[in-house]
Each structure stands twice: as C-alpha cells, then as structure tokens.
Amino acid sequence: MTRHHLSAQQENERSSELRSYVVGYVLALILTLTPFALVAWSDLSNMKLWSVIGICALIQIVVHFRFFLHVSLAKQKREDLHLILFTTLILVIMVGGTLWIILNLYTRIMPSMLP
Amino acid sequence: MTPTTNRHPGINLGDMHEEASDACESLVFGFWVFMMSDLIIFALLFATYVVMLGGTAGGPGPHELYEMKSAFLETMLLLASSFTFGMASLALKYDRTKGQLLGWLVITLLLGLAFIGLELRDFHLMASKDGVPSRSGFLSAFYALVSLHGLHVTGACLWMLVLFGQMAVHGLDTGVKTGLLRLGILWHFLDIVWIGIFSVVYLGGLV
Amino acid sequence: MSYFLDMLLGRLDWDALPFWKMLQEPTTFNIINGTIVTGAASMVVLGGLALVALITWFGKWRVLWSDWLTSVDHKKIGIMFIVVAFVMLARAIIEAVFMRAQQSVGLGGGFLSAEHFGEFFSTHGTIMIFFMAMPFLTGVINYIMPLQIGARDLSFPVMNSISLALTAAGAVLVMVSLVLTPFSTGGWSGYPPFTESPYSPGAGVDYWIWAVTLSTLSSTMTGINFAVTIYKKRAPGMHLMRMPLFCWTALTTAILMIFGMPPLTVATALLALDRYLDFHFFTTDLGGNMMNYVNLFWAFGHPEVYILILPAFGVFSEIFSTFSGKRIYGYKTLVIATISIAALSFTVWLHHFFTMGQDASINAVFGIATMLIGIPTGVKIYDWMLTMYRGRVRLTIPMVYAIGFIMLFVIGGLTGIILANPSIDYQVHNTLFLVAHFHNMLVPGMLFGMLAGYNYWFPKAFGYRLNERWGYRAAYSWIIGFILAFFPLYALGLLGMPRRTVAFLEPAYLPWTIVAGIGALVVLFALFSLIMQLGVSIRRRVTYAVPIGDPWDGFSLEWSTSSPPPEYNFPVIPQIASRDPFRSEKDSGQAYQRPEEYGNIEMPANSALGPVLAVVSFLMTFGLVWYMWWLVIGSGLMGLAALVGRSFVRRTTRIISADEVRRTHESWLDQVARAKAITRADERDTTNQGLAASPVEGAVQ
C-alpha cells in the first residue's frame, strides 16, 4: 500500500501534521535567530539581552513540545502532560533551590566565586 | 474529521499501524519517563554550570573561548535535523514504502554527524586556547554539560545505525517502528536540551 | 614483562591483600585488625566457593540458569532481590556489631584502627541504604505489586532483570572490596574534598563511586518500570483509587526513584570526573566548590529517605487492615498523605546541611518545609490506629513489627521535628543524636516494614508459612535490640559525642556506649533468629503448607490466587468492581470461581541479557576501580554488543496454552474444594491450609 491509498481523512491528517512541522520549524527559526542577532549586533544592556534570550528559549521549548513532540493541552488521555508538568515542578525546585542556596553561600563566604 | 487520539508524546502511529500502535503505548510512555529522568540530569548540570561560572581560576572565560559562529551553525544543524526527523516520522506514519523514510533518516543522520564534527572542532579550538577541563572549575562544568549532550547525540546516531541494521534484517516491522518512535522522541528532546545550551552557555556567556 | 603486568593489573598490588600490612608490620594492633579483615575476606571467598561447590554437587547449575538467573518473571526477580538484601543485611549487621563493640571499649583506644573503623561505617551505611534497603523494597514491590493490580508481569520484564543485574553487580563489587581492599573511608555520603584523590588516593573511594552508581542506575530503571506498570497494566476496573495502599506507595516510591536518583548520578559522576580525569568540580583549588556536592547529594538524599520509608508504610497499611479484620480506615486520607509526603520530600534537602553557612532565612524555609512532613505522617499514624480501633486485632508476627513500628517511629519522628529546627540542629549536628534519629526512622520504619512484609507475604511466595516461634523471637529481639542500641545514642549525642568517632577520652560516654553495645548483640541475636526461622520453616514446609493461598483472610487480589502463584499470576485477568476486591468476592461467595473459558496466555520469554550485563558491569566497574583499562574497554564493548544483539531479537514471548492454564487452575480448584476452611482462631495452627472461613455473623468488618 502506498501513498495514494490513503483515505481522504488520512490525507487530511497528513497535511495538517506536515503543516504543524513546518509552522514549528519556522517559529523555532525565528526564536533562534532573534537572540543570536541581538547578541551579535544590538547594543542593548546585558540585563535586557539576558531577558530576551531567556524568554525566547522558554517559548522555543514550548514550541518544540507542541509542534515536534505533539504534546498539547487537548483533553485526551495525557499522562505525558502530567508528567511534563510534574517534571517542570521538580526541575524548578531543584535548579532554583541549587542556585538560591549556592549563590547565597557565595555571597556570604566565597564572594570570589560569584559569576 | 476526528484527530487521531494521542496516546503518547511524539508522533502517534494511529489506526493505520494497529499492532505497532498497541505495542508502543507502554514502550513510548516508558521511554518518555526515562527522558524526564534524564532531563533532571541535564537540569542539574545546567545549575552546576551556572554556579561554576565564577570559578575560572584565572583561566580563560566564555569571551575568550566561545565562538558565536560555530554555536550558530550547530544550532541550525540540530534544528534542521529535528525537522527532518519530523519528516521521517510522517513518512513512517503515512507511507508504506521505505524509500522516503530512509531518505529523511539518512539526512537526519548526516546533520547529526555534522553537528558532532563541528562540536569536536570547537573543543579542539578551545583546547588550543588553554580551555581544557582540568584548567578550572568553570571549564569542568562546561565540558561536563556540553559533552554529555554531545554523547547523547552520538548515542542517538549509533541507535539509528542499529535501527538501519534491524530494518535490513527484519524489514519495517513493529520492533523497528517502535524503535523509530522512541528515537524520534530522543532526537527532539536533545534539540530541546540544546536550546538550553545555546541560550544559557553560548549566548548567555557571549553577552 | 613488568610493563605487561602493569597493563594487566593496573594499580592492583600486594597491598590490596587484607593480610599484607599485618605481615609487613606485625604489631599487635595491626595483627588484630588484619585478622578481622582477613577473616571477613576468607568468609567471602570460602562462602563463594562453598556456594559453587554446593550447586555443582546437587547438579543445580541448569536449574539456576534457566529457572532463576535468566528468568524475567517479576516474582522470581523479586525473590532474588530479597536474597541479595538478606545477604547484605547480614554483613552490614555484623559490621555494626564491630562498631558498637569498638565504641564500648573505645575510651582512649579500643581495638580497631581509625582506617578500619572508617571502612566499617562507610560500608555499613552504603550497604544498608543501597544494597539492603533498596533491593529489599524493590524485591517486595516487584513480587506483590503486579499481583495486587491484577497484572501478569511488569511492563518491561527484561529491564527488570537488568535492574537486578546491576544491583547484584554492585553488591558483588562491595563484597570484593573485602578481599581486594580497601573500601572508602568517606562515609556513605562520600563528601569531598576528603574523597578527592589528593586526600583519598587509593581504590577505596572508587569502589564506593561505582558500587553506588550501579545501584543508582538500577533504581532509576526500577522506578520507570514500576511507574509505567501501575499506569498501564492495571486490571480492568482497577481505578487508581481502588488500588491497595501498598500499590500507592509503590507508585510514589517509583516516582521518587525516577526524579530522586538523577542528582546522585550527577554527584557521583562529577566526583568520578574529578578523580579520573582531573576535573575541578569539588576540589579545593582551581575554581572547585565542594558545597555543590553536598547540595546535589542531598537533593537525592532526601527523596531517598522517602523511597525507603513509603513502601514500608504501604506494607503496614496492608498489615493493620488484615490483622485487625477491618477495611483500612481513611483510605483517601492515606492516599493524599502518601502523595503529600512524596511531593514535600523534594523541598527539604537543605536540612541535611543547615550548618553550611547560608542565610538564616533559607534555613528557616527548609526547616518549616521539613516540619510540614510531620502532618501527613501524623495522619497516617492516626489512620492506622483507627484501623485497629474496635477491630479484632491478632497479634501475629507482622503485627508485632507493626505495633513496634508505630511506637518507635513516633519517637523518631519527634526527634526529627526537633532536628528540623535549625538553631537546635546547630547544637546536635554531626553528633550521635543524628545517628540515633535516622536509625530510629529507618530501622522501625524501613526494616521492620520489610521484615513484616516478609513474614506476611512469604506464604504467598513459597506456599508455606514461616515458623512462629523463631519469628516472634526475631521480632521482639529486633525491637528490644533496637531500643538498647539506639536510645543511648540520643544521650551520647546530647553529651556531645561526634558521630563516626573511633575512640574518645570522655569517661561519661562509656556507660552509654556499653549499653548500645549490648543492644547490638541483641540485634545480632535477631539476625540469628531470622536465619533459624527460615531454616526451620524450610524443614517443616509440608506442615506449614498453605497451597490455597489465603492464610490471613486477606483483602487484596494477591490472596485470590494459589500459593505460590502460577507464572502468569491469574488464569484470567480479573474484573475489579470495588476496593478490596478479594474481600468483596469472599463476602458475596464469588471467590474461587471457575471462569467460563480459558485463553492462551502470552508471557515474556527468558533472556540471558540480565546475567550477561551483570557480569559485564561488574568487570567494567572492577576495571575502573583498579585502572585495568583493557578490562573496561573490553567489557564495555561486550555490553554494547549484548544490547545491540538483543535489539535484533524478535521472538521475545512464549505462549502458555489455554489447555495448560485450565488444567493447572482446575487442579488447584479441586484442592480448594477439598481444603477445610478455618476461622481466624486457627490461623496459626497447622490446620491452616490457606482457606478462610467466612467471618462470624455480626463481627466487625
């Protein structure tokens, strides 16, 4: 069975999934190019640049999950969505906690190690 | 039109591949759980990298070592490979011939290999500027994080070769299909980790 | 030639032999220590040889290989996990006795060298956590959880076998460190910079790193396996809120393993990079920062504590309900409490290093988070007590452990709340008070739970009950021995005695250390009683047989099948309509029904991948410890080849015919029909064949 045996519905699904990949790719490109271009050519202040990089990265991660990994908020049997949200929670706790604790230690006892 | 039910992340084979679709529900979910566990490892290495930023010990820092151009090229290669793997997944789902699937996979593999080559060239250049892991805590953290990602990409390339081997022996059977679904998740996941690396390590360091 | 030998043996030298130092410098002190180590080493070597000889003598190699080692049956893997746990438990208890003995004569000296004492507390801790507690709870969950949710096996049976392989390889590595010494002296937590190569140059820390790494990888895989099984393989109708509480604790433990193990993987991997490749993560110079190790280690360490304790909570929930003859009180609150404990466990890790120097406000946040855990734990204690309230409590062996647990655990919990207060922690930090506290949580909590579960489910796994007399002796001597061995440590801690001290100059410590030493001997008797219990039970297995499979009038699904259960667990997958499904079946007279038809059952086929990876991972880590690079590369390639080779295999299942299933089930049903149902009064009598009489009219249920 080859392509032309697909039913109309499958043909529809195929093109909508293809569209989703293309949209995802274009969005990801924009979100990658923006921070690179800004860092290379703009003279924004460091703090502003870091914020732009951070925001673009977070949006791009969501874009990848949505368009490449097909994880969405749709009401389906979504253990995987719960899993991602829980992982994010743990990640925030562990990374946030580590930064908070260690950077605080630096300011108090090892100021030379502060970034 | 009712959309295919999503039973797991990544591409869902749906009712066109009933056997494989049933077999992979647990497999892909399990692999996804593993990815999340792996993600914690990467997250902690990111945190370690950030807290080690100050530990250059008089050695070279980000501005002396990082090269924007090659970081950009690596990013483009990996992003493109994510897209081409997406095309491969579509070919797997909708085309019953192997031609298109193999074509996209080979392109993906080449992009992955190019990425690894470029990264090794980066490391080599850094080493020539005294940027070796034993030089400072900062460089240790850099190499641990970035080369763990590189090792994952290498592992993913090897896995793809193994799947080619399986395809040659068994054809496009359920085992190969579920393997490709999981490899796809790994591939997209590695691209997501790379977003973190180019943002936090390269761009963050070069600001 | 010598170049070749160096290549072959790496840094392995005569010094590694346990008696070498004693021969080189034969002082009395060296001879005593050398004899102890040599004795232990010969026990390992002779024990290994005896095992090989016995297996050969009885011609059991084939059985061992095809029925056990290559088996991917969750029940057999569970049993093998528990065997590993018991062997390691025996070793770690003996080490504990040596430490207590040293401290009870430790005023101004004692008989152990500081190095030797350091190895004792390092191996004791490492073994108890990674090679006793983890395999024990993994084994129990492995055996029971699929039976309780009505599944035939775990989701990934071969991966389960690999988990066992890695744990076993790690355990063997720790055992080998007795023969080719030394082991680490850095404690079970292995803090740098002490464990960095300038301060600990030998093979000891490397043994520790790789043994722990193997265990960590094993537990991560186990966690994934358990979580996916519970999500995807429950029998129809077994909603999450109908699962037995043991399965709930298994699920939360699995989630904690998935997210709690990675920080340890990172911590030990970075330490290994420091030691092997001259990285600078935790070194004292060149931008290293040892505080991050402590942070990473405890980001694992605290979830780990709940990995250990939650399954025991699950076991106790089952036991309180069964032996009170009542459904569990407050099922929903117990579920919510379990989930809350699991979630909170990720937010408290800093309380292990309150004194490191961070802001008081950070300490306050983590201190309060720590105290919060007391609330859901308190809920559980009340629920268990209310389960017993107005129940018909039968003081069986599991129940003795359970009641001992409640009383002792509450005391340990209270000392935990005390320690959660940073200002108090500053005073007792790093003293024996802390040692008393965590033993007070883990011995009554974790170990009593597992031993209770072992007594409770043993008849299910082997088809006969355990001997009662030795069982009670073990249980009571555990409780008494624990109290004697650890309550004095609270006093010692408050007197200011630091933990991990080989000797001391303060005479006021002595009475307490002597009492603790006596307690250790009582615990040793408990270990002896456990061995006797097993031995006596095996000899009288026909008298104690409970083939029908329900010796305790149980509530959940595992009691509804024969003892031991068939490989496929259930002839047909049960339909679940309520919580405590087997209880409901018995109450409505629906138990032991003949199904309308039997179907073919597809089961996973045996696989040699597990044992192969066990050997490969042992050789690889052994090579890493002694710098035998050829061995590392060779075994690494072998492991890769085995994995790739396995991925080409397509026939991974085998079919058990409907006919065979029917025959097995019908012969068991005939046995059920012939068996005499007994009331709870005869539960501990030899008339108990595992068929429960319906309860007396009007009894509390």
Query: How sure is the predictor about B3, in pLDDT bands with cuts at 50, 70 and 90?
Result: very low
A86 and A66, same structural domain? Answer: no
A60 and A12, same structural domain? Answer: yes
Residue range C645-666: mean pLDDT, rounded: 94
A79 and A57, same structural domain? Answer: no
Instruction: Report pLDDT digits (tens) over C68-115.
Output: 999 999 999 999 999 999 999 999 999 999 999 999 999 988 999 999
Q: Looking at per-residue confidence, does C591 or C642 come out higher?
A: C642
- Tell me how far apart the alpha carbons of residues C117 and C501 are, in angstroms, rounded to a whole number: 8
Contact residues for C129 (Cβ-Cβ < 8 A; gap 6+)? C188, C304, C308
The predicted complex's ipTM stands at: 0.95
**pLDDT for position C590:** 86
A1 and A19, same structural domain? Answer: yes
- Given CA atoms C401, C415, C107, C515 in this order, what sign does their dihedral have? negative
The DSSP code for C324 is: T
Best interface-test mutation with A: which of C259, C353, C361 has the largest number of A CBs within 10 A?
C259
CATH at residue B132: 1.20.120.80
Residue C327 pLDDT > 60:
yes
Inform me whether the C-beta atom of residue C285 falls under 8 Å from chain B C-beta atoms: yes
Q: For residue C359, give how far its alpha carbon lies from the nearest alpha carbon of chain A (Å).
A: 7
Inform me whether the C-beta atom of residue A32 falls under 8 Å from chain C C-beta atoms: no
Number of separate domains in chain B: 1
Best interface-test mutation with A: which of C291, C292, C304, C363 has the largest number of A CBs within 10 A?
C291
Residue range C594-603: mean pLDDT, rounded: 93
A79 and A66, same structural domain? Answer: no
* Cβ contact, residue pair B51, A98, below 8 Å: yes
Closest of C182, C199, C207, C200 to residue C20, by C-alpha: C182
- Least CA distance to B31: which residue of chain A? A80
Between B89-103, B144-158, C235-249, the lowest mean confidence (pLDDT) is in: B89-103
Measured between alpha carbons, how far is residue C434 from residues C270, C345, C489 in Å? 28, 18, 9
A111 and A91, same structural domain? Answer: yes
A109 and A90, same structural domain? Answer: yes
User: What is the CB neighbour count within 10 angstroms for residue B2?
Assistant: 6
Inform me whether the C-beta atom of residue A30 falls under 8 Å from chain C C-beta atoms: no
**pLDDT for position A78:** 67
C347: its two tokens:
């937010």
Measured between alpha carbons, how far is residue B86 from residues B92, B191, C21, C341 in Å? 10, 12, 63, 40
Tally of CA atoms within 13 A in the half-sphere of B58 that contains its CB: 2
A78 and A38, same structural domain? Answer: no
Inform me whether the C-beta atom of residue C463 falls under 8 Å from chain B C-beta atoms: no
Q: Which of C188, C208, C509, C568 is catalytic?
A: C188
Tell me which residue range forms the domain holding B200: 19-52+68-206
Residue C701 pLDDT > 80:
no
Residue range C22-46: mean pLDDT, rounded: 93
Chain A residues 43-102 with CB within 8 Å of chain C: 79, 86-87, 90, 93-94, 97-98, 100-102
Residue B98 pLDDT > 90:
no
C499 is a catalytic site residue:
yes
The helix/strand/coil state of A2 is coil
**What domains appear along chain C, each with residue ranges and CATH number?**
60-607+652-682 (1.20.210.10)
Instruction: Report pLDDT digits (tens) over A52-101.
Output: 999 999 999 999 999 998 887 765 556 778 888 899 999 999 999 999 99
A92 and A60, same structural domain? Answer: no
A113 and A66, same structural domain? Answer: no
A28 and A7, same structural domain? Answer: yes
Is B10 within the bounds of a domain?
no
User: What is the CB neighbour count within 10 angstroms for residue B96?
Assistant: 15
Tell me which residue range forms the domain holding A52: 1-70
**pLDDT for position A77:** 57
Instruction: Report pLDDT digits (tens) over B102-156.
Output: 999 999 999 999 999 999 999 999 999 999 999 999 999 999 999 999 999 999 9
What mean pLDDT is reported for chain C? 95
Angle formed at CA C408 by CA C406 and CA C409, multiple of 5 degrees: 65
**pLDDT for position B1:** 32
Tally of CA atoms within 13 A in the half-sphere of C527 that contains its CB: 20
- Tell me how far apart the alpha carbons of residues B119 and B113 are, in angstroms, rounded to a whole number: 10
Query: How sure is the predictor about B5, in pLDDT bands with cuts at 50, 70 and 90?
Result: low
**Chain A hits for C289, Cβ within 8 Å:** 102, 110, 113
**Chain A hits for B32, Cβ within 8 Å:** 80, 83
| Furthest C-alpha separation in chain A | 70
